[in-house]
Amino acid sequence: MVIKGEGICKRYGRKRKVVLQDVCFQAKSGECVGILGANGCGKTTLLSILAGFQPSDGGRFLVDGVDLLERTSGRKKGNRIVAYAPQENPLMEELTAWDNLRLWFPGDRSALEQELKTGMLACLGIPEFINVRVSHMSLGMKKRLGIGCAIAGHPKILLLDEPGAALDLASRSQMEEYIERFKREGGILLLATHEEREINLCDRYYLLEDGSLKEYSYHGDIRQLARRIQGEKPLEEEGVS
C-alpha cells in the first residue's frame, strides 16, 4: 500500500488565514512517518483532515490511487481503513475500559477478548485496567484506551497525535512496542510528535513550517532539530561542531 497527500490546503476565519498550503507527503506499508513542527503549526489540523474530521480547502489524500477526501466513496473507504487517535480521547467517563471497548467492538465479544489476550490491545497493556472506570484512570491509561478504541476496526493507516503525552516510562515502552508491531504487520503510521523516543521510531520525516510541509533529513541530532523548529540556524552554520 502507498499513500500520498497532494496539495492539501486549509484556511480559517474571515481573513482566511492560511494554516496548510499545498501540503504533500507519501508513505508506504511498514513505515512510520514523523510529522514535526512547533506547537500550533497545523499538525493536528492536518491529521484531522486526513481522518475526515474536518474538510480541507483543496487537495487529495490518495491510498492506492483512491482519494479518501472525496465526499462519497472515498470517505467510505477512509472510514474502513483509517483510524485517528487525537490528543483528546473521546471516551465515556462513566464507563469502564471494557464497556468503552464494547462500544467499538459491537456484537463481537470473542474478537475483543482475543485482542485483549494476544492482539494489539494486549500490546497496549489495556488488560491491566480493563475493569477501571474512565473517570478513575490516569491520563496515560486514557491515552492507551483511546488508541485501543481507534484500532478496533483493524485499520491499515493510523494517525497518532502526540501519543506519548502524559505517559509514564512503562506506558511509553508499551506504546513503542505497539508502533513497532503495527509496522511489522504492514501498517502505515503518521505520527505528530515532539518526543525524541517517538521520533526515533520513524522511518521518514516531514517538517511543517508556515503552512508548508517539507521532507526533513533527521540523523539523530535532537538539538539541531529543536533549533530548526524554533527558527534558529543549525549549529554547523554557526561554526559549532
Are the C-beta atoms of residues 156 and 81 closer than 8 Å to each other? yes
Is residue 107 included in any domain, yes or no?
A: yes
Is residue 169 included in any domain, yes or no?
A: yes
Q: Is 165 in a helix, a strand, or coil? A: coil
Is residue 167 included in any domain, yes or no?
A: yes
Is residue 74 included in any domain, yes or no?
A: yes
Are the C-beta atoms of residues 33 and 18 closer than 8 Å to each other? no
Least confident of 108-117, 142-151, 163-172: 163-172
Is residue 98 included in any domain, yes or no?
A: yes
State how far the alpha carbon of 15 is from the alpha carbons of 11, 12, 18, 19, in Å: 9, 7, 9, 12
At 66 the pLDDT is: 92
- Taking the model in full, what pTM does it have? 0.88
Residue 146 lies in domain: 2-234
Give the CATH number for residue 230: 3.40.50.300
72 or 135, higher pLDDT: 135
Overall average pLDDT of the 41-54 stretch? 94
Q: Using CA atoms, how far apart are residues 78 and 81, in angstroms rounded to an integer?
A: 5
At 216 the pLDDT is: 93
**β-bridge partners, 38:** none
At 232 the pLDDT is: 63
At 190 the pLDDT is: 97
**pLDDT(233) > 70:** no
What number of other Cβ atoms are within 10 A of residue 36's Cβ? Answer: 23
Task: Give the DSSP letter of residue 234.
Answer: P
Q: Using CA atoms, how far apart are residues 51 and 239, in angstroms rounded to an integer?
A: 43
State how far the alpha carbon of 61 is from the alpha carbons of 3, 51, 122, in Å: 7, 10, 31
Burial per residue of 89-99, b for 16 or more beta-carbon CB atoms within 10 angstroms, e otherwise: bebeeeebbbe
Roughly how many angstroms between the first and final C-alpha of the chain, as a whole number?
Answer: 41
CA-based Rg of the chain, rounded to a whole angstrom?
18
Residues 6+ apart with CB under 8 A from 171: 125, 140, 141, 143, 144
30 or 233, higher pLDDT: 30
What number of other Cβ atoms are within 10 A of residue 64's Cβ? Answer: 10
| Domains of the chain: total | 1
**Nearest alpha-carbon partner for 182 in 164, 165, 158:** 158
Is residue 24 included in any domain, yes or no?
A: yes
Find the helix or strand (DSSP H, E) in which 7 lies: strand 2-12
Is residue 8 included in any domain, yes or no?
A: yes
Is residue 116 included in any domain, yes or no?
A: yes
